[in-house]
Structure 1
Amino acid sequence: MSLFDISGVEDWIHPVSFYFRVVIDGLATAFNEVSGIETTVESERVVSGGDDSHCYYVPTKKTYGDLVLKRGMLKVIDPFFLWCKECISAPLIAGRIKPKTVVVMLLDEMKLPVASWTFNDAYPVKWSLGAFNAEKSEIAIETVSLKYYSMDVN
């Protein structure tokens, strides 16, 4: 078998990043952009037996980036906007913030998931609206950042 012989290897079609779906507590919600899908395993340096010339690292905790969702501002009030408004504008009283499950799916040409990420106990921590500029013809984009307890990769 030569280095360039690829017989027996399945054809790989690279998924496109513009074909995705976001589902929040079972309800599909349209977004222009999703970013911030990331996790980091932090580690601590441990010196082996007091010998400073040899060390190893042990995992200590996982951290997650904020999940950032962007979309054109809607004229109608939808369930996603109402949830964000309730979480962000209401006084911080126990039980007032209602976490939800957010699933982001990367789709293939048949609308089937190639990969998916489930964000457990997510809640909005930041909402912003893009700049207004009379010299440009752009859609008003709202951006929502979500924190979450854990992420499952499926």
Structure 2
Amino acid sequence: MTYPGDAYQAVRGGPPLAFRFNVFFFMGGIVPNPLDIRFSKVSGLSSNIDTQSLNEGGQNLYTHRLPTRIQHDNLVLERGMAIGSMLVAEFNATMSLFKFNPSNVLVTLLDETGSPISGWLFMTAYPVKWTVSDLNAEQNQVVVETMELAYQRMQAIRL
């Protein structure tokens, strides 16, 4: 038995690897800053449908579960602290001035040649949390900033 992904995997040599990706912020139609496309980790690529249970009179074997709305986890981006980042300026404006400038965010998965093979578009994304790793004089570690975004909707893109 063959599955739709089998042809792709046979040509490409297996399922895609998760360590080749880019993140693009579409802020005001400006070309993305090279500092703001590279992250070490992306998480929160998920959504689920909430359901409501409905009991049918006289039916004791099961309960109807009806879909009500789609819920999305926050998009979480991690990277080494970047100096001169426009994205940091946007997060700073949100966190210090309560000024929101929602934008669309595209996460792309890349093949071994660097060409996009899949993606996820997050529409109307805005910052909801920003953390910087602990500063510790006893450890020789990179300062990591974590950026968390809420968004209106997620659209999976398969190329």
Matched, 1:46 2:51: no
Q: How many residues are aligned here?
A: 143
Greater fraction helix? 2
Amino acid in structure 1 at the alignment position of 2:92: K
- The answer for the alignment partner of 2:96 in structure 1 is 89
- From 44, 69, 77, give the equivalent of 1:36: 44
- Partners of 2:118 and 2:154 in 1: CA distance: 13
- The answer for the alignment partner of 1:13 in structure 2 is 14
Greater fraction strand? 1
Superposition deviation, residue 48 in structure 1:
2.6
Amino acid in structure 1 at the alignment position of 2:24: V
What is the aligned-residue RMSD (CA, Å)?
A: 1.8
1:97-138 Cα offsets, whole Å, 9 max, x none, are: 110000001110121222100000001111111011222111
Aligned-residue identity in percent: 30
User: Larger Rg: 1 or 2?
Assistant: 1
- From 131, 150, 155, give the equivalent of 1:152: 155
Superposition deviation, residue 51 in structure 1:
2.3
Specify every segment of 5 or more residues in structure 2 that has no aligned partner in the other structure, as ranges: none
Superposition deviation, residue 17 in structure 1:
0.8
Superposition deviation, residue 55 in structure 1:
2.3
Q: TM-score, normalised by structure 2?
A: 0.83
Larger deviation: 23-32 or 110-119?
23-32
- From 146, 149, 152, give the equivalent of 1:143: 146
Amino acid in structure 2 at the alignment position of 1:83: E
Matched, 1:128 2:131: yes
Superposition deviation, residue 30 in structure 1:
1.4
Specify every segment of 5 or more residues in structure 1 that has no aligned partner in the other structure, as ranges: none
Superposition deviation, residue 50 in structure 1:
4.3
1:38-80 Cα offsets, whole Å, 9 max, x none, are: 1010111112344233322110011111101111112x32111
- The answer for the alignment partner of 1:77 in structure 2 is 84
